Amino acid sequence: MMFLAAIPVGMIGGVLGAIFSTLNVMIVKKRAQVINSVHHPAAKKFLQMLEPVVIMVSASCTLCYTP
C-alpha cells in the first residue's frame, strides 16, 4: 500500500528536478553572456567577485527573515 503513495511523490520529485535543471542551464547561459559582454578586464574581475557576494547576501537575508 505504501508503494502506491511513493509513486506520486517520485513523479513530483522528477518534475521538480527537471525544472531545476532547466532553470540552472538558463541561468548559467545568461551569466556567461553578461560576463562575456564586459570587455574591460578589471570590470570583468569585479563582476566575478561581486557574484558570490550577492548570492551570500540574498541567501542570508532569506534565511534570516523567513520565519
pLDDT by residue for the chain (67 residues), tens only, comes to 778 889 999 999 999 999 999 999 999 999 999 989 999 999 999 999 999 999 999 999 999 988 7
Range of the domain at 56: 2-65
Between CA 32 and CA 24 the distance in angstroms is 12
Count of structural domains, the chain: 1
Q: Is the pTM of this model over 0.75?
A: no
Backbone φ/ψ region at 39: left (φ over 0), alpha (ψ -120 to 50), beta:
alpha
